[in-house]
Amino acid sequence: MPTLSIRLLLTTGLALAAMLPPAGRAAAQMAEPGPTLAGVRAKGLLDCSANQGSPGFGVPDSRGEQQGLDPDICRAVAAAVLGPNARIRWTVLTSQARIPALQSGQVDMVARTFTWTHSREVNAGLQFGPVAFYDGQGFVVKKSLGVTKASQLDGASICVTAGSTNELNLADWARTNRFAVHPVVFESNEDTRKAYLSGRCDSYTLDASQLAGFVSSLPKGEHVILPDIISKEPLTPAVRKGDPQWYDIVRWTFFALVLAEELGVTQANLDSMLDSPNPDVRRLLGVSGDHGPAMGLDRRWAYNAIKAVGNYGEIFQRHLGEDSPLGLPRGLNALWNHGGLMYAPPIR
């Protein structure tokens, strides 16, 4: 039986060992890559969805590179997986083509104004990550019509895109309110926008944030977005079911962007924050902990993601907020401690 002094020494030694940072203990073993992670590494690039053109969410620039909230989520995942020089292959998809492209493996993930619904997750074999943007469906009309609220659209023709939740929402809204609307359905958002502008429809219905982007490109004051919101549209990146490691990677990369904003970690101060005494910051940036290796990634997976695109708040401001032509308020997309719904579990 050890003496009291020896037992105290043993107890103290164990306590000190538990307090040591992971670097002072044996490093966790790197998790084996699952099928998607292995495939992305073998290709040397991430295959990601692209939008035909939705200001703020995804539009091609003069070089054909996608710019917007959704492309930056893809860039963050690519950097987390492949490092600072990550490459992405963009595949432009219509609303109808998104699900088959993901199911078939044509793309590794979809981040393209994609609404999380029960049927898409349960019946289509997809898994949705955290909500990247909380939205709702609205209507735009020409100011000259004198329409000020959606109830005045009873009997109107309304342009809508096929294969989107907007098509079903419009039918549900009309049925619930006993309105006789006349949907005019088109294959792509671009065709729908052109039809509305040419006068083929009295109104155009789409997620309200995307309508704001659309109206920002038109002559000022000629079109009005009605105040009515008729649905919930949680816009969310999605992956195929059956690869839990890849689901973890996509989900936690987005969480890392949200945590970075909450912790004050930005694209500009990232390197100086490596010396932060804050344990949450140190785990986020891979200074301590084996959270990257647990997913088959480098310890600096989140560092690389933030370095590539900034934190969630920076991405929002750049493409949707005050620094963009859309000028959208954060609203529900503010952090949880600023009145919004953006909330990330801790990395620990």
Per residue in 195-244, pLDDT (tens digit) is 999 999 999 999 999 999 999 889 999 999 999 999 999 999 999 999 99
In the structure, what pLDDT confidence band is assigned to residue 4 with cuts at 50, 70 and 90?
very low
Task: Check pLDDT > 70 for residue 18.
Answer: no
> Do residues 235 and 68 touch, judged by C-beta distance below 8 A?
no
Say which residues have a Cβ less than 8 Å from residue 99's Cβ, sequence separation at least 6: 120, 124, 126
Per-residue pLDDT, averaged over 251-260, amounts to 98
Per residue in 121-135, pLDDT (tens digit) is 999 999 999 999 999
Task: Check pLDDT > 70 for residue 22.
Answer: no
> Do residues 345 and 255 touch, judged by C-beta distance below 8 A?
yes
Give the C-alpha distances (Å, rounded to integers) separating 295 from 30, 238, 271, 331.
8, 18, 23, 33
Q: What is the pLDDT of residue 28?
A: 65
**Residue-averaged pLDDT of the chain:** 91
Per residue in 137-147, pLDDT (tens digit) is 999 999 999 99
Please report the sign of the dihedral spanned by the C-alpha atoms of residue 304, residue 310, residue 315, residue 319.
Answer: negative
> Do residues 28 and 293 touch, judged by C-beta distance below 8 A?
yes
Per-residue pLDDT, averaged over 161-185, amounts to 94
pLDDT above 70: percentage of residues in the chain: 92
Q: What is the pLDDT of residue 19?
A: 41
Task: Check pLDDT > 70 for residue 263.
Answer: yes
In the structure, what pLDDT confidence band is assigned to residue 13 with cuts at 50, 70 and 90?
very low
Q: Which two tokens stand for residue 161?
A: 């895109």
User: Nearest to residue 238, comparing CAs of 124, 135, 314?
Assistant: 124
Per-residue pLDDT, averaged over 241-250, amounts to 98
Q: What is the pLDDT of residue 137?
A: 97
Task: Determine which of 21-25, 49-53, 138-142, 267-271 has the lowest per-residue pLDDT on average.
Answer: 21-25
Pick the more confident residue, 178 or 5.
178
Per-residue pLDDT, averaged over 249-267, amounts to 98
Per-residue pLDDT, averaged over 330-336, amounts to 97
Q: What is the pLDDT of residue 27?
A: 53
In the structure, what pLDDT confidence band is assigned to residue 29 with cuts at 50, 70 and 90?
confident
Task: Check pLDDT > 50 for residue 115.
Answer: yes
Task: Check pLDDT > 80 for residue 74.
Answer: yes
Task: Determine which of 37-41, 124-128, 189-193, 260-264 has the lowest per-residue pLDDT on average.
Answer: 189-193
Task: Check pLDDT > 50 for residue 5.
Answer: no
Per-residue pLDDT, averaged over 20-26, amounts to 42
Q: List, in order of start, the domains of the chain with CATH numbers.
A: 35-134+235-338 (3.40.190.10), 137-231 (3.40.190.10)
Provide the residue type at 22 as one letter.
P
CB burial class (10 A; 0-12, 13-18, 19+) of residue 84? exposed
In the structure, what pLDDT confidence band is assigned to residue 323 with cuts at 50, 70 and 90?
confident
Per residue in 31-57, pLDDT (tens digit) is 999 999 999 999 999 999 998 888 999
Per residue in 297-319, pLDDT (tens digit) is 999 999 999 999 999 999 999 99
